[in-house]
Structures are given as structure tokens and as C-alpha cells.
Structure 1
């Protein structure tokens, strides 16, 4: 757990929230603190109905506790990651023994996708914790029970997963393989009689957790009964859940998408899983539910997320702990094999060569791809410092390989992975944060408008409002950019000497006089400019010049 703490916490406090999701949740959390409105998240002046407010509540708590959002916005993810590892260890210890629990937690921690997700302040780390806790409750009840308290806790955690992201219900899929194994009389599966009311208590615990947010939210929304609040209810309960699942409108991917995600991001977990497959076949023959209940749940989750057209890599993360749990009983035997140690050592050397070689090559030659990345991040010297950081990760793998040698090749590989996850954020966050968080751009804009200037935002992103150095005016987030610009012009016209418009360059229309927009730079592949009051063509309305020639003043 100490290793996990160092790996997962590395870099906290060295950067602000980065897109796409972190600035949104941090902004919503900060607005909750400022406004005292906890049931209905707001993004600027608009209600934010894409996700339930659970994560934003926790981020607001850490902001309140620490007095700001720098670093605090990552605390929920860090504790969720550590909590997930603790639950996996406990579950492995209860089902098998303490060594198996240790192996299971180590497999999760060594997996690239797990660390990548936990190092970002998205909803998924918290969702991962609730789902893992829910699975633990159900497994301990079904395989080491009857333990009705753990069963009810698992169902309650599933409900908390629902009000975190909506998909906590997948925990309950664990009851399907249990029901089949119970009917087929698999050894080790609990058999209860006359406990229907206790089983029904799980449904009550599940609904109770959801009701903690849903009941006061609905009571308040229908009490206000305004179009905005009623639209919020429809959106979050139907459009963002059932409609999003059945008729996805973004992130469209092929049905086999998650298999490719596993091959690409569950490294080195799936490499080890290849050698565990024969043990899984033997466990099936022996009807071992401790292995096959988690495995069958993984298959059901894979199918569940593969059905809709819309897919994102992070959807499959909750399945990782169950695969690790099914692998863990056989890891000790595999680690005794000399070929596995040599394979681990070879992979560590290969990673050292790839990262070190690529970093030094890009630093020395500044190829076109390096120059493009440096320009996008506004880095000096063609991003030389960034490429040295890549080479430093390679040096970490090499150092680990030299310390542990081929005899402990697996430890050499895991040590290199751990050093990489520590060195990369510590060295790159200070380099990239100015651009990624939009802090650099907003500092330039603040200096450009002067101490008495007022700033209005058009076609903005969440990091722009979050990083604003003073109170700003905004004209909606989801509204059409043309409507935002129309209202911004009216706002600016009321005090032209002091009011400026910061606009996404893609939203600039034909009413802007050429050369009047003042470029402020780039942030996350978005270019923004400042528009003074004299930037508008006379008589031009909503991008149409009313018969004036295009070059008219």
C-alpha cells in the first residue's frame, strides 16, 4: 500500500485540472461551494445534467477542507484507487489466503489502465471503488456466507455506483452466475432456505442508496417546476442513461472494441493471463466458483458494454479487479518458473530501450512529430525538455533491471513500471500544466485587459472559466455559439471602454474586422482571441453585413 500510495499520488499538486473531464467536475464542485446548491450541479449559469453529483460532492469537500482546488480535485481518485486495492486484497484473503490477496492487488496496481485512470479526476475511479466493493459484498456472501450484512453492503454500494455514474447496477450481474452455480450444485456456493426476505433486503439497500440523492432531487425539481429543472430531470434520468445506452450518440466503436482496449491497456496483466488459461480450464472442470464467478461476471460486463454503439476505454475498468482475483491463486506457481522471470527482465530491458531511445532520438533530431507536439503545448526548444522526460522513464526501467537482474525479472519489470509512473508526472506536469490547464492563456488575457477590464466568454470550455483570474460574464455553455456572441456584443456595447470578449477562434464570424482580434494563444488544441469593442463592423448583425462589402470597416 505504501508503494501504491507513492505511485498513485505522484504529481498531485503539480498541475491543475486537465481536459476533457477534470475542469468540468472541478468547476461544478467550486460552484457548489460558492452557491450552496448541492442537488443540482451547474456549469456556469446552466444546469449540468450529464452526470449525477456524487463525484462533485466529494471534490467540493476536499476543496473546502484544503481551501482550494489545486491538488484537492485529485484526492477522491487517489483514495478510490487505494480503497479499490484494499478491497481486492481483502477479498482475495477471504476467498483464498493473504498471499493471494496480495497478488490480486499487485496485478491491479501493475495494470496500465488502472494507474492511468486513478491519476485523473474523473468519475471512473470512484465508480470503480463502488463496483469493486459491491462485488466483494456479493462474493463474500455467496461463497463465504451466508453473510447477509456483506450482501446488503454490496447492494448498497451498487446503488452508490448508480448515483455516481449510472452503471453501478452491473454489480448485480454477479447474481446470475451465482444462480446458475447454485442450481447446478457447485461446491462452495451457499444454499439458503426461507430467506427470501433477506434476499429482497438487497433490493431495498440498492434502492435506498439511490434514494439518498434521487428523492430530494425530484422533490426539489418538481417543487420548483420550472422548465429548466424539469428538463434536468428528464435528461439525467432518461437521456443520459437508458437513451445513452440504447441509442448512443457519441464515441461510436465496433463490437470488439473492448478486446482491443484490453490488449492495449491491460499490460502486463493480459500477458500473464495467457499463461493462467490452462488453470482456469482446470478450475472449470473442478467447478471452482471462487474463480468462475468473477470470470463469468467479467464476461457479462464485457457483453453489457459491447452492445451499445457508444464505447469509451474507461468503461471496462471495473472488470479489471475481478480478472486479477481470478488470476491471483495461480500467480505464485508461475513466479517460480525461470522462463517467466527472464521474460519479465526482457520486457524491462525492451521498455528501457524503447522509451530511452525514442526520447533521446526526439531530443537530438527534433523530428516533425516532436515539433508539432511542442507547438501544440507551447513548449520552447521543440519540446526538448519533454523528450528528456521520456528518456528518463527509459532510464527508470534500466535502473530497475540492473538492480533486480534476470533472477528477479518480474520485480524488475514492475519496478520499472512503478518508476515510470512516478517520474513521468513529477517531471512533465510542470512542463505541460500551463497549456493543458489553460492557466497560461488566462494569465495572458488577464494582463491584456488591464486592471479595470471586464471579460466575457464566448464558446468557452470549462478550464477557461475555472482558470479565470477575476469574475467573468458568460452567456451559456451549451447554447449555439452565434447566440452567445450576439448576447456578448450587447453586453460589451453597454460599457465598451472596459469590456472585452474572449472567444474561441472557431466562433468568430464575419462581423469581426480583420486584424482586430488579438490572439491569446492555444490551450488544448483550441485557439482563443480577445475582441475589443472596436472589433465589429458597423451595421453587421449576427455575422451578416446587411449589404456591406466584406472589407467594410
Structure 2
């Protein structure tokens, strides 16, 4: 698909500008310093562009790699407690959560952050398992903890390079709760804290030193003060109330949230069956969810996609629950009520996917009817098993429906989303109306508009003062100004410029609630 709002055009343009400027240390957008995040994710996209060129699809190769790596880590982590069946179910749960599908379908920095936080947490937990099970240590033998500890600290450093201080903070918060409240202090000297801290700091310091050489205190002030301190206090970025994440903690794992209550009951049942002190895996998952949620809630700047690193821990819980219902052991009847709700709601949502194009006034095609009929037959079979309490057959048919949903998302839903979120129609409108020889400028253009224009090879010059606007109007060359009205009460910029007599409205077009308006200078002077 094309470059999608809200982030892909911006990220693609930053990566292209990194290649063309030769500046691989600091990130820029349309010639302006854009140091919101460290450049690791941009490096991965720029590397793909160097190999495959400035097309839409290469920027998503890092997404594919990070997503596959994340699911492999989810399986490996869940396998420590739930064996292969539970691990597969955990992977399925994570891969079908609404927030996971939304964020991992495009080039967004949170893809990389989720992978590196998961990598570091998994490496630490492996260190804990080895430490917990070791009886004695032979100093002449290779220490198995060393490799996992190295991976843990390397993950911390890379998490910083992906999204800044929040990366290692999201890792260290659950580990701190797990160690302190579990009185597991003795693990600290066993994970090579001095060596590991030096390794993580070295990874971070290499980039910070290069950043200082490039821009000195100004770059540090923009990166640390504007994009860390002010974001944490809420003075910069999308500021929300402290309780902003409470509804999203239930919305992010949908549709699995429907099973939350019986899943918690199953987890409690599982934990009461083992000896106290043997529940380390689930204690770790508890701190994983709780500490990350609290930390993100304290920060002033909030966005629903920031909850992405919590999803694997939820996946473990839901994977455990489904595995419990497949075990053949009896379970409380009231669990079946939630399972039926989950299956009915999920199957209805999947049944609707082949007919999504109809909602956009597209004709109903044969492929939609055929897929709908196939999904309907599987759903009917699933519902019969559901009310006969044939749980294994129910989950098998749900798995088939999930596969069918994936096919439908590709065939029917993605084209509709591409029509809604694509940047290309706006780009084609600009190309058709502004000759290559003309001067193209803009007023108050958002990041994504500047992003797709730069990435597609037509970077706009941003006008910020009245003097610049007057100069553009008096240009000997044809001069155009692009203005985007994003809301009803948007300031009447176009009307004010036309009223000066120096500009005329050349053309306008609306793309998904955004009105693109092009003005042209009236005559040459």
C-alpha cells in the first residue's frame, strides 16, 4: 500500500533526507532539525532505501523484521512456562490484538521499541532462571549467565537508540519491582552490573558523542529538554489526563479483553496449585504490565500506541487460558459464557470483513461473496460446537476463522484503508496543479504533508512570515502556496491572502477531512 498517515510519510522523509544529506547522526524533516527520537529506526529504513530505492514498500521491511522477531521472542518467552502449545496460543493472541495489528501494519518507531524492550526483558528472565536453578558455580567453566546478561544490556542500549530514555525505563521498571518486592537482590551481582552498564552506556554514548560533535549543546537541549523533559511533563506533545490509559488498557488487547475475567480466574487457579515462590513467571508478567502502565500514566504526553510493549504479557495470560480450556479438565460453567461471547463477537467481526468495501460504496464482488460463504460455513460449525461444549473443535474453527480474517484483511480491508489513509491522492493533486518549474511553498503544513512531499521528490519551502509571503507573491517565477485546512474553525488564511490582491485560489480538493487549497500569485512583477 501507499504511505499511510499518521506516521509513515514523516518517517520515510526523515530516512530519505538522512541519505541525501549524509548526516546519519541527527534527524531532519524538510531541512528542519527533528530530534524527537534517536536515529536507530531511521537507520533501518534508510538502509532499505539504499538497497531498494525510494519506493513505498522498502520502508516496511524493518517492520516485518521487528514483528517477526517479536513473535519469536513471545513464543520463546511463553515456552518457559506454557510449553509449545501455550506458546503458540500466546503468539496467536498477541498477533491478533487490535493495537498490534494497527501499529505493526506501518512504519512506526514503536515497532522497534516493542522488539528491543521484549528482547531485554526476555534476556533478563533467562538470567533469572539460570541463577535460580544453579546450585554452585565453577569459575573455571564458562558462565551461562554471561551471554544472556550481555544480550540484556545490549537490548537496553538499543531500546534507548530506538526511542530515547523511555526505552530502557520501560525495561528497568518491571525488573526493579520484580527484584525489590520479591527480595531477589542476590541476582544483581550475578548479571555483571559493572560490565553490563558499561556496555549499555557505550552503545548510547557512541551516538551521543557524535551528536555533540554535530550540534553541540543545541542538539542536546532539543533532544533531552524539548523531547524528553517537556514530553514527560506534558509541555510538549499530546498531553492527556493521568487516567487516559484506563480505557485503552482494555481496548488495546481486543478482542481478547472479553476473556479477561475468566483468564484472571484461570491464572489464580494455576498459581494456587504450585508451591509459593514458583510463580516467578507470572509475578514477572504482573510487574511487566503494572509498572509499564503506571510509568506511562505518570508521563504528561500520552498516546494509545505507547501501550504496545505491554501486549506480550497479556498474550501470555490469554495463551494460558486457552490452553487451560483445551486441557480436557473441567472448568467452571461461567467461563463458558465468556468463551461464547468471545467466539460470537469475534466470528461476527470476521464475517463482516469481506463486505467492508460495501461501506465505501464499492460494488459487491464475487470474491467477497465467496469468502463470506466460506467464513459463514466455518462459523456455523463453530457455533454448533460452542453450544455442545466441544472446546477443542471450537478453538480449531476459530483458528481457521483467524486465517480467513488475515486473507480478508489483505483482499478487502487493506484497499479500503489505503483509500482512507494514503498520501498519494494528495500528492497527485499537487503534481497535477503545480508545474515542475514553479516555486512550491506552504504555510503551516503538518509533518506528514511535508513528509510525503519530500519523500516523493518535491520538498515545499515553508513560509513563516508576511515578508516571505510578499516576496513569494512578487517572484518572477510562478509561485504556489499550499494551505491545508484540518478543522472547521481553521484560520481564514486563504481568504486573507486572496484579499491582498496578490494571490488567487488556483484549485482545491478534499482528502479525508482535510481540505488542500492551492494559491497562485496573480502576476509577475
> Is the structural similarity TM-score above 0.5?
yes
How far apart, CA to CA, are the structure 2 residues paired with 1:80 and 1:168? 15
Q: In 2, are the aligned partners of 1:93 and 1:100 still within 8 Å (CA)?
A: yes
How far apart, CA to CA, are the structure 1 residues paired with 2:260 and 2:18? 44
Matches within 5 A, 1:28-107: 28-107=14-93
How far apart, CA to CA, are the structure 2 residues paired with 1:433 and 1:357? 18
Q: In 2, are the aligned partners of 1:126 and 1:164 still within 8 Å (CA)?
A: yes
Partner of residue 141, structure 2: none
Q: Cα 1:251–1:25, aligned 2, differ >3 Å: closer, same or farther?
A: same
Is 1:297 equivalent to 2:288 in the alignment? Answer: yes
How far apart, CA to CA, are the structure 2 residues paired with 1:441 and 1:197? 53
- Secondary structure (helix, strand or coil) at the match of 1:144 reads helix
Partner of residue 433, structure 2: 448
Is 1:504 equivalent to 2:484 in the alignment? Answer: yes
- Secondary structure (helix, strand or coil) at the match of 1:516 reads strand
How far apart, CA to CA, are the structure 2 residues paired with 1:300 and 1:451? 53
Matches within 5 A, 1:382-401: 383-385=360-362, 397-401=375-379
Partner of residue 460, structure 1: 445
Matches within 5 A, 1:83-232: 83-145=69-131, 147-166=145-164, 167-169=166-168, 170-180=170-180, 183=183, 191=186, 195=189, 198-222=192-216, 230-232=217-219
- Between 1:452-461 and 1:147-156, the stretch displaced more is 452-461
Q: Cα 1:305–1:159, aligned 2, differ >3 Å: closer, same or farther?
A: same
- Secondary structure (helix, strand or coil) at the match of 1:530 reads strand
Q: In 2, are the aligned partners of 1:26 and 1:69 still within 8 Å (CA)?
A: no
Shift of 1:28: 0.4
Shift of 1:325: 2.9
Q: 2:521 aligns with which of 533, 537, 548?
A: 533
TM-score normalized by structure 2? 0.81
Q: Deviations over 1:446-495 (max 9, x none)?
A: 2223454342233223443444498546334xxxx652x64244135232
Q: Cα 1:492–1:399, aligned 2, differ >3 Å: closer, same or farther?
A: farther
Partner of residue 420, structure 1: 405
Q: In 2, are the aligned partners of 1:521 and 1:527 still within 8 Å (CA)?
A: yes
Matches within 5 A, 1:330-479: 330-335=321-326, 336=328, 344=339, 347-353=342-348, 363=358, 383-385=360-362, 397-402=375-380, 406=385, 407=390, 408-431=393-416, 433=418, 436-450=421-435, 452-468=437-453, 472=458, 474-476=460-462
Q: Deviations over 1:379-432 (max 9, x none)?
A: xxxx31299899999767535424656242234334434433442344344455
- Secondary structure (helix, strand or coil) at the match of 1:261 reads helix
Partner of residue 9, structure 1: none
How far apart, CA to CA, are the structure 1 residues paired with 2:29 and 2:96? 36
Q: 1:523 aligns with which of 499, 502, 511?
A: 511
Q: In 2, are the aligned partners of 1:95 and 1:140 still within 8 Å (CA)?
A: no
Q: Cα 1:247–1:463, aligned 2, differ >3 Å: closer, same or farther?
A: closer
Shift of 1:113: 1.5
Q: In 2, are the aligned partners of 1:357 and 1:391 still within 8 Å (CA)?
A: no
Report the count of equivalent residues: 486
- Between 1:48-57 and 1:400-409, the stretch displaced more is 400-409
Q: Deviations over 1:268-288 (max 9, x none)?
A: 333333223234335277231
Q: In 2, are the aligned partners of 1:59 and 1:76 still within 8 Å (CA)?
A: yes
Partner of residue 548, structure 1: none
How far apart, CA to CA, are the structure 2 residues paired with 1:467 and 1:182? 50
How far apart, CA to CA, are the structure 1 residues paired with 2:85 and 2:356? 43
Unaligned runs of 5+ in 1: 1-14, 184-188, 223-229, 364-369, 371-382, 539-553
Shift of 1:200: 2.4
How far apart, CA to CA, are the structure 2 residues paired with 1:21 and 1:99? 36
How far apart, CA to CA, are the structure 2 residues paired with 1:473 and 1:325? 46
Q: Which has the higher contact order (CA 8 A, sep 6+)?
A: 2
Shift of 1:59: 0.8
Shift of 1:127: 0.4
How far apart, CA to CA, are the structure 1 residues paired with 2:343 and 2:321? 22
Partner of residue 309, structure 1: 300
Partner of residue 139, structure 2: none
Q: In 2, are the aligned partners of 1:162 and 1:168 still within 8 Å (CA)?
A: yes
Unaligned runs of 5+ in 2: 132-143
Shift of 1:182: 5.2
How far apart, CA to CA, are the structure 2 residues paired with 1:523 and 1:516? 21
Q: In 1, are the aligned partners of 2:238 and 2:303 still within 8 Å (CA)?
A: yes
- Secondary structure (helix, strand or coil) at the match of 2:498 reads coil
Q: Deviations over 1:126-157 (max 9, x none)?
A: 10000000100111101233623212311221
Shift of 1:504: 2.5
Q: In 1, are the aligned partners of 2:97 and 2:254 still within 8 Å (CA)?
A: yes
Partner of residue 491, structure 1: 472
Shift of 1:313: 0.8
Shift of 1:352: 4.9
Q: Deviations over 1:230-261 (max 9, x none)?
A: 43321211221122113344433343332311
Q: In 1, are the aligned partners of 2:18 and 2:27 still within 8 Å (CA)?
A: yes
- Between 1:50-59 and 1:244-253, the stretch displaced more is 244-253
Q: In 2, are the aligned partners of 1:90 and 1:101 still within 8 Å (CA)?
A: yes
Partner of residue 551, structure 1: none
Shift of 1:91: 1.9
Q: In 1, are the aligned partners of 2:509 and 2:517 still within 8 Å (CA)?
A: yes
- Between 1:341-350 and 1:485-494, the stretch displaced more is 341-350
